[in-house]
Structure 1
Amino acid sequence: MAETEAVNGGSLTTMSVEEVKALYDENRIVLIDVRTPAEYAFEHIGGALLAPMSGFDPARLPTQSDDRPIVLYCGSGMRSRKMSEKYLAAGFGKIAHMAGGFGAWKQSGNGFLGTDPATGAHVPRP
């Protein structure tokens, strides 16, 4: 179940993989990967946007709404939480991130895009 807490004057929601998957499948969230470009290129959740932690600028993220909030993710949930805190510290009112990150997403058996080592092309996994 999603947990919401007050952080840096805003509201930070931590969502489970199952919650994120359900909302993403219904196109009800904007999913943003904050890992490095190399990590994203190797494998990522199909359709997720990339906003790497190294150049993360809260003002450049898409505008979110109550109907389609932003959810950040990384490899384990640590970097996405840090970037969520940075987003709130920049004066935005709310943000969410995925607990356990991409590792938990894969462990739950959810699909993603991986790299075919023979061609370098993205291919659906598993």
Structure 2
Amino acid sequence: MKTEDTESGPVELWTPEEVAAARDDIVLVDVRTPQEHALERISGAMLMALQEFRPACLPGQEGKRLVLHCGSGVRSGKAAQQCLAAGITPIAHLEGGMAAWKDAGLEYIGTDMATGAPKTMTKDD
């Protein structure tokens, strides 16, 4: 993992592969809109949309790292800055967001457009 130094402190940048490998040891927080999350999401990610993001409401980090994600990494970077400003460290986010996750060929929950039902997918679906 890489670390980016920001005005508020260091933010860890995790690759999709690092996030996938650590799934049992992290809390993955999706900061996209509820509509984006409903359409496609990483299995097990909790939703706290950026427009309602409140660092004080995040789960504790006892034994688990918080990793934020969005569509491209921009919004999760903003949320990470809010966490640092609130004194939450360490904090990480998925570099490249959901787009990078899909480009890496990792499974996600998407929407079957024929039925509207959730479906496990990869970028080839």
Q: TM-score, normalised by structure 1?
A: 0.90
Task: Please state how far the C-alpha of 1:12 moved relative to its aligned partner.
Answer: 1.4
Q: Secondary structure at the match of 1:118?
A: coil
What residue is the counterpart of 2:12 in the other structure? Answer: 13
What residue is the counterpart of 1:70 in the other structure? Answer: 66
- Give aligned-pair identity as a percent: 47
Q: Secondary structure at the match of 1:94?
A: coil
1:100 and 2:99 matched:
no
In the alignment, structure 1 segments of 5+ residues that lack a partner are: none
Please tell me whether the aligned partners of residues 28 and 66 of structure 2 are also in contact (alpha carbons under 8 angstroms). Answer: yes
Q: Provide the aligned length of Structure 1 versus Structure 2.
A: 122
Stretches of 4+ aligned residues off by more than 6 angstroms = none
1:49 and 2:53 matched:
no
Task: Please state how far the C-alpha of 1:106 moved relative to its aligned partner.
Answer: 0.4
Q: Deviations over 1:31-69 (max 9, x none)?
A: 11000000000000011100100100000011113x311
In 2, Cα distance between equivalents of 1:5 and 1:76: 16
Please tell me whether the aligned partners of residues 34 and 53 of structure 1 are also in contact (alpha carbons under 8 angstroms). Answer: yes
Please tell me whether the aligned partners of residues 10 and 94 of structure 1 are also in contact (alpha carbons under 8 angstroms). Answer: no
